[in-house]
A = this chain, B = another copy of it.
Amino acid sequence: MNEAKPLAGARIELLDTTLRDGTQAEGVTLSVRDKIAVAEALAAFGVDLIEGGWPGSNPRDADFFEAMKGRTLPGGARLTAFGATRRRDLAPEDDPSLAALLEAETPVVTLFGKSWTLHAREALGVSLEANLAMIRESVAFLRAAGRRVVYDAEHFFDGYAEDPAYALATLEAAAEGGADTLVLADTNGGRLPEEVFAAAAEVVRRFPGRTVGVHTHNDAELAVANSLAALRAGARHLQGTVGGYGERAGNANLTSLIPTLVLKYGAELKAADRLEGLRELAHFVDERANQTPNRRAPYVGDAAFAHKGGVHVSAVLKNPRTYEHVEPERVGNRRRFLVSDLSGRSNLLAKLAEAGLELAKEEAGPLLEEVKALERDGYAFEGADASFFLLARRLRGAPEPFRVDAFRSWTGGDAHGRWQAEATVQLTVADRSVHTAATGQGPVGALDNALRKALLNFFPELEAVGLADYKVRVLEGQEAGTASVVRVLVEMKGSEGRWSTVGASANVIEASLKALGDGYAYALVRAGLA
């Protein structure tokens, strides 16, 4: 009994809730403009349903739905508004939250109700019978207004474990009200895949005329596995978020589930055609949500196909299948070889060859020593290819494109919140020196402006080169008593693309100057100007 149903060829509907459950993650906030941009990106990627927010719960979500009126999303994606069943003491037509759902004017509504006796009794304070009526009547009210209703059975698996008959009765109430999709939620994220499989299989068996869906959370790091378990049991509607953002430990990560379903199970998803855009989508959402992209994210992270151990690198150079479960290009990612003191010489040489610098084997030893020494001082070359390239070039005795003789950067302010920042730089190229100054938004911005201004005297070609990103990391003292070291990572852009550099020092300005200096030096070397 409860045999797995094949997923090959199965059509699965995707509902993305990044804009609703995703914003319940700590630290995630999206403005109305962000939400519109993310909705459009999701639609273009091939998501079927986009849950835009909970219009009854906060004004920003209501503003979002207002702003979306009249807009058509690409790819036939449809918006859905999220909300709760009616209040216990109000008829559906008098309930302000249901009214807000209708005012959102979305073709689909995701309505959640209680499946777990504990929640009906303690969170809502209603009888089990009253809860069933609330579900049935709320769904019917939305159906009568012409909405498709996706019914989210909150805490379904917890409820099913404690009182299966009641949990099933809540689904029955939603079905009677007219919901075509019954979504089983592991709201607290603590259920196990075998429990999810068994319960979902039972629901699929009992509701042959409805689509069964699944909505999981990651509190036991099983959200992806639990989603797959429900789909294998016959669910055909999947909810999750880009990057797995969501309340507490997060939601099921669509960025992992989508490629697994397409590439490993052969399921039919509308997004299957756009899989090469997966990494870009993930990074776009991170940027909008102001989240540092998770480097270790499966499929889409910078490290997902990054090889560090020497044995791995030499095997991947022979055949990538040896240490890659899928081809990185399928999800828009790329293979990387990392340089660190764990590296063998093959990492170093492969990496430099990528950048067009052919090194003899005997030169790799001293380079590796230098990398080790600098990493002890707080540098990290794994994310700073351009600094690594310059380091190798320096070791071969190549001259520096310029030298910074002195710098100064200051910031001052008063009680009225007015502040200023200014920097000076003295710089020499060949035998000519300049001494210049600039202001900026802050001490680092001023320093960058002054450095760039000084260099433009010699290299007008740098006009097209500029700072694209700047990151600071305070490395906590490794041993008691030593001062913290600051590591600065800089990304620069120019007509030849983007490159990254690193600087480290106990002083953030000094570390920034090193990283910025490498950034401009790399631009000059690549352009053949030094």
B interface footprint on A461-496 (CB within 8 Å = 1, 0 otherwise):
000000001111111101100011010000000000
Say whether A118 contacts B319, CB under 8 Å. yes
Interface contact A122-B322, CB-CB below 8 Å: yes
A187 to B249, Cβ gap below 8 A?
no
Query: Are the CB atoms of A193 and B228 closer together than 8 Å?
Result: yes
Q: Quick check: B33 and A411 within 8 Å, CB to CB?
A: no
Q: Is A119 among interface residues, defined by CB-CB distance under 8 A?
A: yes
Contact A298 to B441, CB < 8 A, known contacts A248-B304, A303-B248, A419-B507? no
Complex Cα spacing A302 to B443, Å: 32
**Chain B residues with Cβ under 8 A from A479's Cβ?**
33
A384 to B478, CA, bound (A): 25
A194-B232, A221-B224 known; A303 and B411 CB under 8 Å? no
Complex contact B478–A123 (CB within 8 A):
no
Instruction: Check A247 for interface membership: any CB of B closer than 8 A.
Output: yes
8 Å CB contact of A322 from B119, B403, B411, B509: B119
Q: Can you list 28 A-B pairs, Cβ within 8 angstroms, ordered by A? A: A26-B303, A26-B306, A26-B383, A29-B340, A34-B478, A60-B341, A119-B315, A190-B325, A190-B326, A194-B232, A219-B298, A220-B224, A220-B298, A220-B325, A221-B253, A221-B256, A221-B260, A222-B228, A248-B305, A248-B306, A248-B323, A410-B411, A411-B507, A413-B510, A442-B508, A443-B443, A472-B474, A472-B508
Query: A26 is contacted by which of B58, B312, B338, B376 (Cβ under 8 Å)?
Result: B338
- Distance in Å from the Cβ of A281 to the closest Cβ of chain B? 16
Q: In the complex, A165 Cα to B305 Cα: how many Å?
A: 30
Residues in B whose Cβ lies below 8 Å from that of A311: 57, 84
A122 and B319 contacting across the interface, CB-CB below 8 Å: yes
Q: How far is the CB of A235 from chain B (nearest CB, A)?
A: 16
Residues of chain A from 212 to 254 with CB closer than 8 A to chain B in the complex: 218-222, 224-225, 228-229, 232, 244-245, 247-250, 253
B508–A321 CB distance below 8 A: no
In the complex, identify which listed stretch (A101-109, A174-182, A289-297, A388-396) lies at the interface while the others stay far away. Answer: A289-297
Contacts A222-B224, A249-B301, A476-B469 given; indicate if A323 touches B406 (C-beta within 8 A): no
Establish whether residues B476 and A290, one from each chain, have CB atoms under 8 Å apart when the complex forms: yes
Question: Does A199 lie at the interface of the complex (its beta carbon under 8 Å from any beta carbon of B)?
Answer: no
- Pairwise interchain contact B325-A189, C-beta atoms closer than 8 A: yes
A57 / chain B contacts, CB cutoff of 8 Å? 309-311, 342
Known: A27-B380, A442-B510. 13 other contacts (CB 8 A): A188-B323, A192-B228, A192-B260, A220-B298, A221-B253, A224-B225, A247-B323, A248-B306, A409-B411, A409-B412, A419-B507, A441-B483, A442-B486
